[in-house]
Amino acid sequence: MGVDIIKKLKGEAQARQQQRQGGKVTNPSRIFEPAHKIFVSSNWKSLLDRKPLIAPKAAAAAAAVVAPLGDGGVMPNVVALDCEMVGVGPSGTRSALARVSIVDHEGNVLLDRFVRPNETVTDYRTHITGITAETMQKKGVLREDTARKMTSELLDDKIVVGHALQNDFQALLLSHPHALIRDTAVFKPLRVPGWEKKTPSLARLSEHWLQQKLHEGEHDSVEDARAALRLYRLRSRQWEKQLKSVMGNYRVGSSNNASAADDGVEDDAGEPVERKPAASAGSSGSGASATAAAAQQAARAAAAAAAASRTPNAGKKKRKRQAALDEVASTAATKAAVAAAAEAAAAAPVASKSSAEVGSGSSQRRNKKRPRELPKQAPGAEAQKASGTPVRAGKRKKGVSAAA
């Protein structure tokens, strides 16, 4: 509407300029229109204020849809957890649960109760937790097993957000599926620039990303849980996308392993079994060959399992790295097979030492040279020698007489 008025005013100015210069106006009726046609009501500002930014039906439909991941919206099955611990034991170095706080995806408190540990508290860590001996004597303090049961029911099948959650689950004596944990201490896109290689504290992350200072005095578990939830909301879309990609690759690898097992390839060849040394050289040789064959079969099975676990959609660099790993595994398996065969061959002579010694002794006796026997003389030879008659000892050579 404002643009149309400006165009009309501009047209009128041009028409007046042409009249002053003696020019002709082709259609003055289109330029000079009645004032009521271009008149604007004075309440146009109030009308704009009452106009909704979105149509009522579209607004109702948008409210019915769950807010998407990212841009400050999270799924309704997300909760944030934080715990406070006190010291137990002789020196108070061991931690025990003293307070548990859980908030929902909007930051509303689902559970915030103090917990009385089963062991005697030796260090309340008041400067951090704000908990004193009088706090544990108030009404509403839960027993440790009761707090554990209530927490387990609230976290069941939920995505749990927190900072350094391994400490909280250790204090609660609970476990949670790894796929449902969102730990802001280990998610690298949340690392502060320049501190990527160090595990950041919740206070540092909050000050950098949320411009919110934490832990200036005593810690508040509800405030810490809400801060972790806000950090998750900043990178929720990227976080879930990366996790979905990782879980998809894991499912593909597991399905390939299952198909390889159906085809008759064993995923686990088992541990090698030590064989006793055989009694004879022949049986020991067969044992060595069997050990070498088993080791080669294990090497082939390991190579087949590594090839089956390879993701078909992996990039070029990943495929090269996987091929190098497969080659290293195959080389190691081959070396193990050769070593096993060498050990079996070394054990064979020890097992068959006695039989080998017996065999070698008999062969030596058979191959021993006998002393040369002199030719037998004809009867009467001694008498002829005694009488001086020449005795024919052998063939005479040609040209040599008997007398000579």
- Asked whether residue 68 carries a pLDDT value surpassing 50, the answer given is no
Going by their DSSP bridges, the two strands 109-116 and 94-103 should be labelled as antiparallel
Q: Quick one: which of 333, 353, 359, 356 has its CA closest to 277?
A: 353
Assess whether pLDDT exceeds 90 at residue 28: no
Average pLDDT, integer, range 125-130: 92
pLDDT number for residue 71:
42
Query: Could you tell me the pLDDT band of residue 67, with boundaries at 50, 70 and 90?
Result: very low
0.85 cut: is pTM over it? no
Residue 70 has pLDDT above 50, yes or no: no
More confident residue, 65 or 320: 320
Over residues 51-77, mean pLDDT: 58
Listed range (134-143, 158-167, 328-337, 341-350) with the worst mean pLDDT: 341-350
Query: Chain-wide mean pLDDT for the chain?
Result: 73
* Pair 329, 302: CB distance under 8 Å: yes
Q: pLDDT digits over 174-186, tens only?
A: 999 999 999 999 9
Residue-level pLDDT at 351: 47
The tens digit of pLDDT for each residue in 227-254 reads 999 999 999 999 999 888 887 765 555 5
Looking at residue 274, its pLDDT comes to 46
Q: For the segment 209-232, what is each residue's pLDDT rounded down to a tens digit?
A: 999 888 888 899 999 999 999 999
Percent of the chain with pLDDT over 70: 54
pLDDT tens digits, residue range 250-287? 555 555 554 444 444 333 333 344 444 444 444 444 45
Q: What is the pLDDT of residue 82?
A: 97
Tell me, what's the pLDDT at 202? 94
pLDDT value for 142: 95
Task: Quote the pLDDT of residue 358.
Answer: 47
What was the pLDDT predicted at 328? 73
Q: What is the mean pLDDT of residues 153-163?
A: 95
Q: What is the mean pLDDT of residues 385-395?
A: 50
